[in-house]
């Protein structure tokens, strides 16, 4: 099949990898970058010279699964390592495919959710996260979107691109109600545990919930391409491991070793992300007050992104192009099917965020 253009990646690639690169990247949804040397220096130092460059087990090596299990507080046997959350999603869609089946997804959402579901022959049913309600996620609306042909329902919390957080109690209720219909709940937790108010536990131990996670977002290590599924059901987990064997065979043992070392030192990684995100979010709150005559937003409750919109309903892409020309990158809302919006990341830019907002305001009022 012909896949639609991946507008977000096209936009990011045109600017992040340009020569010279964009000066201030407020389009990124990750945290502050780490170098390999910085990562290896954590915890008193790490040497990867002895790692044998062969295959790792398809489910992931024991050490890495133990590190992920420890990070989430679950049995390491429940963990299946994947090539980022992208492969985790593909595995779940592959296993859910059936004639006439569908998946329930949020709107707006990260665009590969719907595109990949369609590629696997699954219909898409959506539940709307309304900006008038702060993009709130609730069990009743999500459950109402499911029908007798629903094979999976997915929630993303903290949510990309809006930053909303689904309360843990709502996740438990939704997982139970879906379970009564035999429908698994997939919880995309790539931004866990970055919250700005009430902290939320992982859904990894919730009955009938399958958790997707990775090291790209909250752990700020996108280049490791390391993710996971947490599946308590042993039969489904076995099928997921088989699917991974067909898809990618295994991870790189070198990257698995680096990932396990990073997870052993996850507090350091999370503390750095939290410091940058908290400081920059406060600056963004003040900025949004100053420009509230032009744009509106819902304050993000977790994660690293927000999703403001133009109050007059204009298409944001021309503004995003002008802002990029001035040296500041944000992502146009048409990448998420909502052209009047734009996504702002506030955790990747460890330095210069205030300067970027100054340019942002000048361009906005220009």
Average pLDDT of the chain, as a whole number: 96
pTM: 0.96
Predicted confidence (pLDDT) per residue in 232-263, tens digit: 999 999 999 999 999 999 999 999 999 999 99
What is the rounded distance in angstroms from the CA atom of residue 289 to the CA atom of residue 339? Answer: 22
Predicted confidence (pLDDT) per residue in 107-155, tens digit: 999 999 999 999 999 999 999 999 999 999 999 999 999 999 999 999 9
Q: Could you give all domains of the chain from N- to C-terminal order, each with its CATH number?
A: 7-36+267-365 (3.90.1150.10), 49-265 (3.40.640.10)
Sheet-wide strand order for 305-306: 305-306, 342-345, 331-332
- Nearest Cα neighbor of 207 from 179, 235, 228 is 179
Contacts of 160 (CB under 8 A, 6+ apart): 29, 109, 110, 190, 191, 303, 305
Using left for φ > 0, alpha for ψ between -120 and 50, and beta otherwise, residue 170 falls in alpha
What is the rounded distance in angstroms from the CA atom of residue 127 to the CA atom of residue 170? Answer: 15
Predicted confidence (pLDDT) per residue in 182-196, tens digit: 999 999 999 999 999
Kind and range of the H or E run holding 210: strand 209-214
């Amino acid at each position: 099949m012909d896949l639609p253009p991946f507008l977000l990646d096209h936009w990011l690639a045109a600017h992040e990898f340009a020569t010279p690169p964009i000066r201030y990247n407020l389009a990124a949804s990750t945290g502050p970058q780490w170098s390999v040397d910085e990562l290896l220096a954590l915890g008193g130092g790490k040497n990867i010279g002895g790692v044998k460059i062969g295959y790792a087990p398809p489910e992931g090596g024991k050490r890495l699964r133990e590190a992920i299990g420890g990070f989430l507080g679950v049995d390491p046997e429940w963990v299946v390592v994947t090539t980022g959350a992208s492969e985790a999603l593909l595995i779940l869609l592959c296993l859910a495919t059936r004639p006439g089946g569908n998946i329930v997804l949020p709107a707006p959402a990260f665009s590969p959710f719907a595109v990949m579901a369609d590629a696997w022959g699954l219909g898409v049913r959506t539940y709307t996260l309304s900006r008038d309600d702060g993009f709130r996620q609730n069990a009743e609306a999500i459950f109402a979107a499911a029908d007798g042909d629903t094979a999976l329902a997915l929630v993303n919390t903290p949510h990309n691109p809006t930053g909303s957080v689904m309360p843990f109690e709502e996740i438990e209720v939704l997982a139970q109600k879906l379970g009564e219909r035999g429908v698994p709940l997939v919880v995309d937790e790539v931004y866990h545990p970055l919250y700005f108010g009430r902290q939320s536990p992982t859904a990894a131990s919730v009955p009938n919930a399958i958790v997707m996670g990775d090291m790209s977002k909250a752990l700020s290590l996108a280049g490791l391409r390391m993710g996971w599924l947490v599946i308590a059901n042993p039969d489904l987990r076995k099928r997921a491991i088989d699917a991974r064997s067909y898809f990618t065979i295994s991870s790189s043992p070198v990257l698995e070793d680096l990932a396990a070392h990073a997870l052993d030192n996850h507090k350091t990684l999370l503390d750095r992300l939290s410091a940058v995100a908290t400081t920059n979010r406060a600056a963004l709150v003040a900025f949004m007050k100053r420009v509230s005559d032009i744009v509106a937003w819902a304050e993000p409750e977790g994660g690293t992104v927000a999703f403001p919109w133009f109050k007059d309903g204009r298409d944001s892409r021309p503004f995003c192009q002008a802002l990029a020309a001035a040296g500041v990158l944000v992502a146009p809302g048409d990448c998420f099917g909502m052209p009047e919006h734009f996504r702002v990341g506030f955790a990747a830019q460890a330095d210069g965020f205030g300067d970027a907002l100054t340019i942002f305001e000048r361009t906005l009022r220009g």
